[in-house]
Every structure is written in C-alpha cells, then in structure tokens.
Amino acid sequence: MTATAEETRRPTDHNGRAPTSWRHRLAERGVDRTLWLLAPAVVFAVVLFLYPFFYGLQLSFQPTDGGSPFANYVTFFQDPFLRDTIGTTLGLGLPAALVNVLASIPVAYVMRGKVRGKRTLTTILVVPITLGTVLTAQGLIMYAGPDGWLNKALLGLGIIDSELVLVHNWIGVFLSLVITGFPFAFLLTLSYISGIDPSLDRAAATLGAGTWQRFRTITLPLLAPGLSITFMLTFVLAFSVFPSAQLVGDPAGSTRVISIAAYEAAFQDVDYSMGSAMAMIMAVVMLMVIGLVMVWRASLYRGATGGKG
C-alpha cells in the first residue's frame, strides 16, 4: 500500500508519464557517454579528410591569374584537351569496376560452400592486394610487354605473326585495374553472399529448382544491393587511377586521365588552384555515378531475410 501511495504522489507530465532526466531521454535515443569513444575517429576524419577537402574547394575558386571565381572551371570545360579527360577516366573506371564485380560473383558463389583448399585459394586470389600498383605494372611490362614471355610464347607457337601491344595503352591500364581491383571486389562479394541464409537455397532445391534457377531467383536478388555497394567502392578506386595510367598506359594520349591532368596543373604548371578545381570535378563526377547507383539500389528488393547488402 505504501509503494502504491508513493507512485500516486509521483509527479507526471501532461501525458501522464513520470518525468525523466535529460540523460535518460538522450539514452533512449542512443546518445550516451559511450559516444565519446567516437571522438578520435571524428577528429581523424576532420583533420585528414574534411579540412583538405574544404581547403581544396576554396582554393579552386581562387584562380592564379585572377578573374571570376569560376575561371578555373570555365577554362577546364572550354578546353577539349582537359574536358576529354573525364570521358577517358570514365572509359577506364566503369568497365574495370563492372568486370571486377561480375567476375567476383561466380567465384564467391563457389567459394562460399565447402571447397577443398578454400583458404589457400582465397589467399591466392587476394595476393594482388599486397603487390601494389607499381609491382603489378612492372609484372605486366615483364610478362605482357613486347619482350615478355606471353609474346615470345605466342610467336614461338606460331599463333601470332607480330607482337601483341598489351601495355602502354588502354589495355594495359585496364588489365592493371582488373588485377588490383578484383581481390577487393571478391572479398566484399564473398562477405555479402556468405550472409545469405543457405536454408533459402536448400528450400528451393527441395521444390525442384535447379542451380541456375536458384541463383537467378533467390541469391542474385538478395545479393544485388550488396553488389551495388561493391561496384561503387571498386569504381572509386578505379576512377582515381594514376600510377597505372602513367606506368602501363599512354599518359600523353589514350590514357590521359583527369588525375594526370590535375597533377600536371598542380606540380608542373605550379597552378594549385587549377589542380584543386580538377580534383573537385573528379569528386563531382564520382558522386554523380554513386548517386545513380544508389537510386538503382533503392529500387532493389531488400527483404527481412537475406544478405548484408
């Protein structure tokens, strides 16, 4: 009776509920002292990412020769030699990202099950990540160059009459992007496909669905949202290509990407303002592609049972 009497005397708000402290109200919304653990990450992001971005943004509106704040952007889009670098970069980044994602699907689909030597195979597939762009480019020159073993073998077997030109052109850069980007796409795809409940596949098998039918109607729809994320991340890596375009490409011609143009403006012409403007244009183009993929991703089915996408 005493407890009941105390409860009846406890003050309440206009909704009839007992008032709570501001700490409790914040805790109900997921805001508590544990958020201070995020402080180092926030400081890290501000110092290494946000500050350089906003500094470069304001620098791009300060043309070296003076004039309008948008003079650098006007110069870029009026000069075909500069403007065409956007198409060249997209022509490398989009196909490379698409090939990496599509190639990772069947490999990850097989590797998610019980495969003999699974760890060894996975290690072999991700080794190119440890090599880096420079070693990958050197390997392409040694093996696929004019004096590489591939041309020598094909010429020795009489399969070709003249050497194949596989480096210092678009093909060389594309191969480099695929070699370095596939392991990244494979690991992401494997993580997404491993998160799909295998009981769905077994249930469809008991109903008579074949392997391809199960993959097309169950696995792929559940995997598609995750694949879109994989594509976006792989595209960002490929779009910012610079070492590959220099080492195994034609930086003055067919593989003159926008990152090379920005480098030349900033460090050869000593025009940091123009280089910053090109970097901002790169960011806008990447965000546009990512935005289109996100719109497509939002239209995909995402059920309560499925992958991590």
- What secondary structure does DSSP assign to 35-64, as a single string? GGGGHHHHHHHIIIIIHHHHHHHHHHTS-T
SS (H, E, C) the chain: CHHHHHHHHCCCCCCCCCCCCHHHHHHHCCCCHHHHHHHHHHHHHHHHHHHHHHHHHHHHCCCCCCCCCCHHHHHHHHCHHHHHHHHHHHHHHHHHHHHHHHHHHHHHHHHCCCCCCHHHHHHHHHHHHHHHHHHHHHHHHHHHCCCCHHHHHHHHCCCCCCCCCCCCCHHHHHHHHHHHHHHHHHHHHHHHHHCCCHHHHHHHHHCCCCHHHHHHHHHHHHHHHHHHHHHHHHHHHHHCCCHHHHHCCCCCCCCCCHHHHHHHHHHHCCCHHHHHHHHHHHHHHHHHHHHHHHHHHHCCCCCCCCCCC
| pLDDT tens-place string over residues 77-135 | 999 999 999 999 999 999 999 999 999 999 998 888 777 878 888 888 888 888 888 88
- pLDDT confidence bin for 25, thresholds 50/70/90: low
Beta carbons within 8 Å of 136's beta carbon, 6+ residues apart = 128, 176, 179, 180, 244
The percentage of residues in the chain with a pLDDT greater than 90, rounded to a whole number, is: 41
What's the average model confidence in pLDDT over 238-259? 90
Can you give the pLDDT at residue 308?
45
Of residues 221 and 278, the one with the higher pLDDT is: 278
Q: Which two tokens stand for residue 46?
A: 């501000």
Can you give the pLDDT at residue 227?
92
Can you give the pLDDT at residue 15?
53
Least confident residue range of 62-66, 69-73, 205-209, 231-235: 205-209
Domain regions of the chain by residue span = 67-298
CATH topology of domain 67-298: MetI-like fold (1.10.3720)
Which of the residue ranges 143-147, 196-200, 254-258, 295-299 has the most confident prediction, judged by mean pLDDT? 254-258
Q: What is the mean pLDDT of the chain?
A: 85
Can you give the pLDDT at residue 228?
92
Least confident residue range of 208-212, 280-284, 288-292: 208-212
